[in-house]
């Protein structure tokens, strides 16, 4: 398979942004069969790097690398504390980032198991997570960069996805916004679920309400009627 310059940001090579330890982690993931080839960096954010990789059938996958030093680990602790799944995490930066990665993997799996449209997780190790690539020739755009033909219908689809997240996976996303929803073939795909908490967690309600406020504020700007309380009822009742 060949990749055009459009596939990757050719100013940034993978080698240029990963340290020696990261290179070792990548080698281990390859040995485990999680993927076979690094293609290039697709996006680099404050806290993570999104890398295009392929498996041994040349299928595209995403390798998400969580940065250790740049991580806002104080904020991460808020979403780890109180989660029975991660109670044993040590309070060091590295341990918290590793847990964060494992948490995004576990959350993606929970969502995948109940049929939420989200990338299927394949593997994780330390601060690296391998998951499905959303897109075809080009990467699927974020909701904020998508011209939506029928915003009301799109909002409805997102509410339905959130209902599955809440009622079937017993979770709250915690960072839902027009940045963390991709649009592929007209359907919303939910991503970036590291903040996701179980709905039994004490602050789950606060996070749910914030997600709904973000969602409604965005769709109201697109001219769609969206009332926070109504959406909350739809998701939780």
Determine which one of 83, 175, 205, 228 is catalytic: 175
Q: Does 192 qualify as catalytic in the annotation?
A: yes
Strand partners, 184: 187
68 binds, among ligand ATP, Mg ion, none (CB under 5 to 8 A by kind): none
Q: Least distance to ligand ATP from the beta carbon of 95, Å? A: 19
Nearest distance from residue 175's CB to Mg ion, in Å? 7
Binding to Mg ion, residues 171-190 (CB under 5 A): 180
Nearest to 151 by CA among 174, 172, 178, 176: 178
User: Of 126 and 192, which has the nearer Cβ to ligand ATP?
Assistant: 192
Q: Which stretch binds ligand ATP (CB under 6 A): 136-144, 158-166, 209-217, 226-234?
A: 136-144
Q: Which is nearer to ligand ATP, 38 or 191 (CB)?
A: 191
Out of 192, 211, 228, 237, which one is annotated catalytic?
A: 192
**What binding mask, one character per residue, do residues 38-57 give for ligand ATP by CB under 6 A, x or -?**
-----x-xxxx-x-------
| Selection from 106, 219, 217, 228 nearest residue 170 by Cα | 106
Our measurement of the distance from residue 149's CA atom to the centroid of its chain's CA atoms, rounded to an integer in Å, reads 25
Closer residue to ligand ATP (CB): 8 or 232: 8
Evaluated on CA atoms 174, 179, 185, 186, the torsion sign reads: positive
Q: Which of residues 70-129 bind ligand ATP (CB under 6 A)?
A: 119
> Cα–Cα–Cα angle for 44, 47, 51, nearest 5°?
40
**DSSP string for 136-150:** SSSBPPBGGG---S-
- Two structure tokens written together for 26: 């990548």
117 binding partner (options ligand ATP, Mg ion, none; Cβ < 5 to 8 Å by kind): none
What is the DSSP secondary structure assignment for residue 84, as one 8-state letter?
G
Residue 10 known to be catalytic? no
Any contact of residue 135 with ligand ATP (CB under 6 A)? yes
Write the Ramachandran bin of 55: left for phi over 0, alpha for psi from -120 to 50, otherwise beta. Answer: beta
Q: Is 172 in the site for ligand ATP (CB under 6 A)?
A: no
Q: 175 to 214, contacts with ligand ATP by CB under 6 A?
A: 179-180, 191-192
Tell me how many degrees the CA angle 173-100-190 measures, rounded to the nearest 5. Answer: 30
Interface positions with Mg ion (CB under 5 A): 180, 192
Residues annotated as catalytic (active site), given as ranges: 175, 192
């Amino acid at each position: 398979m060949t990749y055009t310059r459009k596939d990757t940001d050719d100013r940034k090579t993978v080698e240029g942004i990963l340290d020696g330890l990261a290179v070792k982690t990548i080698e281990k993931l390859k040995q485990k069969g999680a993927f076979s080839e690094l293609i290039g960096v697709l996006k680099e954010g404050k806290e993570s790097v999104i890398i295009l990789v392929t498996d041994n059938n040349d299928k595209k996958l995403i390798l998400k690398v969580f940065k250790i030093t740049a991580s806002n680990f104080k904020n991460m602790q808020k979403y780890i504390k109180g989660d029975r799944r991660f109670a044993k995490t040590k309070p060091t930066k590295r341990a918290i980032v590793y847990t964060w990665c494992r948490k995004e993997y576990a959350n993606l799996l929970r969502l995948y198991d109940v049929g939420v449209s989200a990338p299927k997780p394949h593997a994780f190790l330390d601060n690296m997570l391998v998951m499905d690539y959303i897109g075809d020739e080009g990467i699927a755009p974020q909701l904020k960069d998508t011209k939506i033909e029928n915003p009301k219908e799109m909002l409805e689809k997102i509410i339905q996805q959130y209902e599955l997240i809440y009622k079937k996976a017993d979770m709250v996303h915690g960072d839902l916004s027009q940045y963390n929803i991709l649009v592929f073939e007209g359907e919303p795909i939910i991503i970036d679920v590291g903040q996701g908490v179980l709905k039994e967690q004490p602050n789950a309600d606060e996070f749910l309400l914030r997600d709904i406020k973000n969602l409604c504020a965005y769709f109201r700007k697109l001219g769609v009627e969206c009332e926070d309380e109504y959406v909350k009822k739809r998701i939780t009742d």
